[in-house]
Structure 1
């Protein structure tokens, strides 16, 4: 059974979300604060996903997201923001969240996003590969190991979230090809993704910080102005 951590200080919202997720087949851990969430995560089995409200007492949801991501690149993280908090959404994505949802939201949309997120995260490790398909993709000084889900640059490992890893897979399988943002969005987040294409740009910025020698002057993930991005080994 899939496990999700729901962090929300308003009890009525948290209980409603938890009840509906349980009805949809999820095991749910509930926390009214970031501090309690971290306690639960340390005491229990790993979660597949986390739903983090930004506005929390004490440590806020963005700081919690950053803390969780430092220890776990595999967990799927969705941040919950209020309308008009565009800067918070962007910051959340830049520090490790995989997706965001805006209040008020429907439970059916939330369940759909969680299901899509966990499918993406488990897709690479759970699906068997054809015998002739290589487990490592090589591009210039980079090696993408699809078995261990690790990217290497000149032999040195680079920590990536699962979403970042899937973007790199898309680039490696389409070398020197200009990919429109919508194709990246569909290839990584799925064709029925509800969110904004800006999520692609935020993840590209995050990837450049990790793989480029000079992120402000990228040599590998190139911008195709007015269109999207192109991988250059």
Structure 2
């Protein structure tokens, strides 16, 4: 039993719908999670920074004091990288982009099935472990570089030449993925699975939106183009002048 308590993941649920939080607490416990519940954004923000810190956060978009977007931005501003799943009734692509830019890792439209929620949580946790395994320890820390574009996976600093590039959480994840596959054509679904998770069921037009954001920040008139579209397939990051 002691071993079980050590290995159980802790989930923080931030939602003011008591019937939903009661259901989530029950279902998550059955699935082997330890669950903490906060019914407003301020409580969720404090709990996200309090030991024992959660391994995953389920955050509602509409809260009585702050929006889930505001809370997510504040969590990320404090340097917290815990995976966050947003529960929302908003399904427009502009709303999804807003949530992802705030630092949300995935979103789920209400009403949803418990099976899908569990699948999303498992995918987020696996992805978080993959990223931490690639860059979280000194022996695996690395600097990725293509031409004069550099990404430090430990500090999350990105630069091109002498120019620092400031990226949102999801823009950074996308560039990280492209740079790890630099020189190879990456298919659209491969990128979506790698950046948004294998169980992400959103519109893949979201990828085009973020590729456009990256190009606006990474490309510059006096330097070689690095992010290339392979029509009908996906994208490749490479310097074609070398």
Query: Does residue 221 in structure 1 map to residue 221 in structure 2?
Result: no
Question: What pairs up with 1:141-220 in 2 under 5 angstroms?
Answer: 141-146=148-153, 148=154, 150-153=156-159, 154=161, 161=169, 164-205=171-212, 207=214, 211-212=217-218, 219-220=225-226
2:112 to 101, 105, 115: 105
- Which residue pairs with 2:84 in the alignment? 77
TM-score by length of 1: 0.77
Counterpart-to-counterpart distance in 1, 2:92 and 2:231:
27
Deviation of 1:225 after TM superposition, in Å, equals: 5.8
Whole-Å Cα distance in 2 between the matches of residues 35 and 175 of structure 1?
41
**Partner SS, residue 119 of structure 1:** helix
2:25 corresponds in structure 1 to 18
Q: 2:181, 2:175 → 1: CA distance?
A: 10
TM-score (norm 2): 0.75
Once the two structures are superposed, what CA deviation does each residue of 1:136-181 show, in whole Å capped at 9, x if it has no partner?
43222234445x26344258686764x6555334322333444332
Larger radius of gyration: 2
Which of 27, 34, 44 aligns to 2:41? It is: 34
* 1:61 equivalent in structure 2: 68
Residues 110-159 of structure 1, C-alpha deviations (whole Å, 9 max, x = no match): 1110111011011133379xxxx99443222234445x263442586867
The SS at the match of 1:78 is strand
Q: How many angstroms apart in 2 are the aligned matches of 1:159 and 1:45? A: 29
RMSD: 3.4
Instruction: Please state whether the residue corresponding to 2:49 is helix, strand or coil.
Output: helix
1:43 aligns to what? 50
* 1:60-82 superposed Cα distances (whole Å, 9 cap, x missing partner): 11111211122235211111111
Q: How many residues align?
A: 225
Return the alpha-carbon distance in structure 2 between the equivalents of residues 22 and 109 of structure 1.
Answer: 16
Cα distance change, pair 87–190 in 1 and its aligned pair in 2 (3 A): closer
Segment drifting more, 52-61 vs 82-91: 82-91
Runs of 5+ in structure 1 lacking a partner? none
User: In the superposition, relative to structure 1, how do residues 124 and 96 fare at CA in structure 2: closer, same or farther (>3 Å)?
Assistant: closer
SS state of the match for residue 112, structure 2? coil
- Post-superposition offset of 1:15: 1.5
Rounded Cα–Cα distance in structure 2 between residues aligned with 1:135 and 1:68: 26
CA distance in 1, matches of 2:47, 2:108: 23
